[in-house]
Each structure stands twice: as structure tokens, then as C-alpha cells.
Amino acid sequence: MAIKKTTKTPKKTAKKSTSKKTTKKLAAKKTPVKKRTTTKKVAKQTYLGEEAFLASIEPYKLNKKEKYMSAKQKRHFAKILERWKQMLQLEQDRTADKIQNNSNHFADESDRATHEEGFTLEIRTRERERKLLSKIDESVDDLNKGDYGFCVNPNCGVEIGIRRLEARPTASLCIDCKTLEEITEKQQYG
Ligand SMILES: [Zn+2]
């Protein structure tokens, strides 16, 4: 497997140019990812778990001449991350409401026990999702900084790839580095 090294730093160090063309180009590149303020649709959807959410992502239609992580691609992923975040946040809020409202509803001890079992499960799920939420926030930060979509391994830095990102929007390692990390972890703990 050939690893293409793509370094992403030169952009920032680009010399200041007085030429109109260059200035225009640089300005276009810096276009911030559009913030979405609409929440109406999302609020009514039920979150059916990570797998279902990932399956609902519509694949990006790639234009041949398009550069990797073009403004349009960035918007595509910003939208995905934002939608995911909203859905997870809603689940967090729902559980928090339940905790507040439900504590005294069960007079019967065994009813309460059954109820609490399901509750514990729910709370664990929310804990896992909270970690996911902070990963999503990191990805959003990366998007805004222009780092999103590139492998974070300092010795690597290749493009993670649109399809891998759609399968795993919070991925920060390319598939090769991720595989290597998993092998190393297995050797250490497995
Ligand atoms: Zn890598």
C-alpha cells in the first residue's frame, strides 16, 4: 500500500501577496463553515443509536475536479456533525428529565427494581454518548481550524478520505494509522 504524504501546513505559511487573484483565493479558502441555526426537523427525530445514525448519512457526491476538503465538503461534514450532536444532546436532556421526574413513582419495590435496571442501562448509554459528544466537538473544532479530514499522527498527515469520514465522522486517524494503533493496543492489553 503506497502512502501518499500530504502535508497540510503550507496554506498557512503562504506569503502575503499583493496580487488581487491570490488574495481572493486565500479569502475564499478561509470561508468559515456555515453555522446552522435550524433545529426544527431534528428535534422531532428519535435517535436510534450510532449505527442507525451513520447509516442515515447521505454519501457526498464527489466532483472530479474538486479538492479534498473543499468548502462544500466541509459544509457536508459540519452538517453531519451538527445533526449528530443535536440528536445526542436531546437524548442527554431526556434522560436528565427522567432522573428528575421519576424517582418517586414506584411504590412497589419490585417494580422499582425492574425500572431501575432499565434506567441504569440508559444512563450507561448516555455516558458513552457524552464521550462521543466531546469527540464530535473536537471534530467541529478541527473543521473550523482546517485540520479536519487529515490524519493527526504527526508522522503521517495523509487525507483520511471522504468515505471513511462518512463511516466515522469523528475519525482523526487514517485507516493505516488506526489499524496500527489497534494492533499495538492488542499487543499491550490483549
Ligand atoms: Zn495516518
pLDDT at residue number 15: 45
The whole-angstrom separation of Cα 68 and Cα 184 is 30
Spacing, Cα 93 to ligand 1 middle (Å): 36
**pLDDT tens-digit readout, 115-129:** 788 889 999 999 999
CATH, domain range 39-189: 1.20.120.910
C-alpha of residue 148 to centroid of ligand 1, in Å: 13
- Predicted confidence at residue 105, as pLDDT, reads 65
3-state secondary structure of 56: coil
Q: CA dist 56 to 33, 80, 152, 182, Å?
A: 22, 10, 27, 27
- Per-residue pLDDT, averaged over 25-31, amounts to 49
Distance between Cα 9 and ligand 1 center (Å): 16
Report pLDDT for 190: 66
3-state secondary structure of 159: strand
Residue 37 alpha carbon to ligand 1 centre in Å = 34
- At 30-82, the pLDDT tens digits run 555 555 554 444 445 689 999 999 999 999 999 889 999 999 999 999 999 99
For ligand 1, the distance from its centroid to the CA atom of residue 152, given in whole angstroms, is 7
The pLDDT value recorded for residue 44 is 55
List CB contacts of 105: < 8 A, sequence separation 6 or more: none
pLDDT tens digits for 83-111?
A: 999 999 999 999 998 888 766 666 677 77
pLDDT of residue 115: 78
